[in-house]
Chain A
Amino acid sequence: MTKRIPVPLVLIFLLAILLCNCTYKPKIEFDRGIKKPDSAVIGISLSPQDTAYTLYESTDLNFTLRMFGLPLYSVTFFMDENKIYNNEDTAGVVHLDFYTYYPGTHTLTMVVTTGSNSGSLADLLHSEGFVISKKWKIHFLQCDPPTACQIKRIIDTNGTSMITWEKYQGVAFKAYYIFKASDLYGNIWDERMIRIITYPGDTSIFDSTALGGTVYYRIEVFNSGGYAYSNYYMHETNKSGLKATWTGGGTIKFTWNQSRFYRNFDKYEITDETSGKEVIYSTDSISVNSFIYNGGIFGGTMKFTIRLYGKYPSFSYNDDNNSTATVNIGKTFPAFDKFYNTSVNNIAYLLNDYKLSRRDLATGQMYGTVDLGFGTSWCAVSPDDNLIITPTFWDSYKKIIPSNFYHIETVQLPVSYGPCMETTLSGVGSGMGQMDMPQNGYFIYNFQSNAMVFSKITTSLSCGRISPDGNYVITGFSSGSPLKCYRITNNDFEFVWTNPSSPCDFIPKTNLVALVNKTTSTVDIRDVASGQLAFTFTTGSGENYHDTDPNNPFMLFSTAAAWNQKGRLSVYDYTTGAKVYEVYTLNSGWAPFAIQDATIYSGVGFQIKLQ
């Protein structure tokens, strides 16, 4: 046994030891079969874009990378050997600092590290990729300060100024700064920058903040080496330029320079400084530049101010931009064909376009207007303002009592005498008037009481006029016959005197009568009661008489042959014969003039104040 047992035992234990070392060994591997990529493409975009850069100042370089699906690990920029930028974004800004690298030529290197996008283990673990680099030459050069760019001209167009200056001709342009200053008693003050232009080719701006007055502009031009500024360019314009023009009656027309600065300004306001800064007009925008105002004070002087209101803050304004206008408002009525004045409280009547209006001469106030009807070309007003009549055809007339102005009464005459001629009402409260009937005769009628005073069927008398006191009537044919003056008595009239010269116009005045001879251009002033010649005065050649109030001491003559022609207007004192005034009218001729006190009223829109 001792010889047989050890052999198998030893073999078995050796086998056991051997087996224990035969541990399992995994051998299979999963080969993914990926191929190794050899190249990659990315896109680089720089702004500013160039192949080399010549810089006069620090510059920011904007870059953008197109990765075409490659993952970006890093972007690094080196200026020579110095890292100046590092990030992991596909876009960024690299600052090239002028003062660090000036002067000289440097190399800007961009290194982009990307993944391979192969999907390999190394790629997935970001241990594999591409390194792409690109280089640029950077030249940092010193730049001299610029030469000043002077303002060439400033042109205004309705509230907007166009400022034009010389173009910058150098390198490394940065900007134009446009400054504007105000004027304070001839000195420059409150200068402020109004615009920055960053393109050298833009050499003009429109300044819509130009509101008028004296302003100063100057241009500062900047380049990388410094700046230079131009001389001040003084520019004068009206401010808002308010103009107030009296256009007749109580109407004032305002015009002003329109601002174009819509962004900052909201509206205009016009205030009446005369009445204590009452706002008479407020616009909805600044797109208007005129306004018609009907609140003018008759014969007064008014002062107005226009203000331009800003949007920010709301309802703010700067009085530096205000404009003030003063306007004198005359005593001119609307155009009229006939003018009838009375002796009562400056009451006058204007007949125009068949409408009769009653006005106050002193204030211009209109008390009312009545329509006399188509075809009515004249009427008669009693001096005491108690009666107004206007003839109709053949056998009636219209009667207006001023106290009941809007009531027109048609009164039937007792007889039909044919068409009535011009009539005057004489005497205070008498209502006496006359009507002539060229074909049938003549009568004197009391229009106040609607009673016939005297009538006579005759063809020898016509064109009669009653003296203001109602005691005399002067008649005469229009041609060939001398004038005759009759005293009016009880239901009859008595011949008093006759005028030796003929033909002539005759104007009964208080106690006197003016006999106008257009042929000789003379006026005989005679006593109405006796016919005695008081004196004679000579008028200007070609002057025609204009009717006036019998109580008025002045007589008007004009040379104009038609209402719309220019001519000489003369005023004579009929009690002395002296010419007290002479003026050449501008746009009016003979048509209607009237005089009240020392003021001449014209039917075409102006008034003359005698001194």
Chain B
Amino acid sequence: MLYRSFPVLFALIFCAGLTSGQSFTVGMNIGFGSYSMQSLRQLQEYRLESAGLPAQVTDNFPANWTSGIEVGIGFPKFPSHLYWFFQFSSTGARVSSVDYSGEMKLDIVANALQFGTCLEQDVWRIKFFSLSVSGKVSYLVTQATTLDYLRIYDQGERTEYRFSANGGGFEPGLLAGFNIWYLRMGIYGGYLFSISEGLHLPHESKAMLEMPNGEKVIPQWNGWRALLTLDFRIPMAKKNPGKENTE
């Protein structure tokens, strides 16, 4: 129910912004994110044990690149900035074994697609520099792919399964910006708190991925985010175009 309310909330806020906003902003970010993924790590351990072959965990959901785009509206007071964003994060894990006779891989690649809105408030501004706090609320879709691959000499076997899960996240953050002309370049740091349902087949929500003890496998994207941001701020001329140069 919560997930379905996001588009409505997004539409309402967008309409309010169009009527009272001062500038129109588009931006992008890129950086690193860390991902706890406890449940998926346990899944990999189980896959390692049940493989019955000598193998090791060679990748285990490391911190990885994350990037996003945003579209928003700037306001003179509160909030300083309201925008809607799309953030993409990806990480993965691997259990592998290789020798002269063949190879075995047990991979998981998990992607997070976040759609959300962010309220940002400048708490300090002096000339070209500003410091803002923000809070992001997002609708989070996880897409995970498992791969079982075994090759003995020239005979190989590959099995892939795709799973998905819906969830949400809240990410408080702090942004230090450098404002010049229509641009704002910033350094963002935040921490994402996420919740999610269990992974299941994309169109079979009851076909859950579970551990042998019955626990659902839940993607956990909790973790720090460190981003470089770049925003274009385009003044809305119809309201007060003369003030664009003074801000």
Contacts and interface: CB of A to CB of B under 8 A. Distances in A.
Interface string A18-31: 01101111111111
Interface string B83-100: 000101011111011111
Contact of A121 (B68, B94, B103, B109): B103
Interface residues of B, number: 45
A118 B97 CA distance: 15
B55 interface: yes
A127 interface: yes
Interface in A1-56: 1, 4-5, 8-9, 12-13, 15-16, 19-20, 22-36
Nearest to A15: B28
Contacts of B110: 24
Main SS class of interface, A? loop
A120 interface: yes
Contacts of B109: 23-26
Contacts of A13: 69
Contacts of B93: 26
A121 B92 contact: no
A24 B90 contact: yes
B94 A26 contact: yes
Contact of B101 (A16, A22, A128): A128
A20 B143 CA distance: 12
A30 B28 contact: no
Contacts of A22: 65, 67, 88, 90
Interface stretch (B56-64, B160-168, B193-201): B56-64
Nearest to A120: B101
Given A4-B234, A28-B58, A30-B58, A23 B98 contact: no
Interface in A303-330: none
A9 B110 CA distance: 28
B36 interface: no
Nearest to A8: B232
B188 to A, nearest CB: 16
Nearest to A118: B101
A26 B88 contact: no
Contacts of B58: 26, 28-30
Given A4-B234, A12-B26, A30 B65 contact: no
Nearest to B183: A8
Contacts of A118: 101
A543 to B, nearest CB: 122
B107 interface: yes
A124 interface: yes
Interface in B18-37: 24, 26-28, 30
B54 interface: yes
Contacts of B68: 16, 19
A33 B99 CA distance: 6
20 contacts: A5-B24, A15-B69, A16-B88, A19-B67, A22-B67, A26-B93, A26-B94, A30-B96, A30-B97, A32-B98, A34-B100, A121-B152, A122-B101, A122-B153, A124-B52, A124-B54, A125-B152, A127-B153, A128-B101, A128-B152
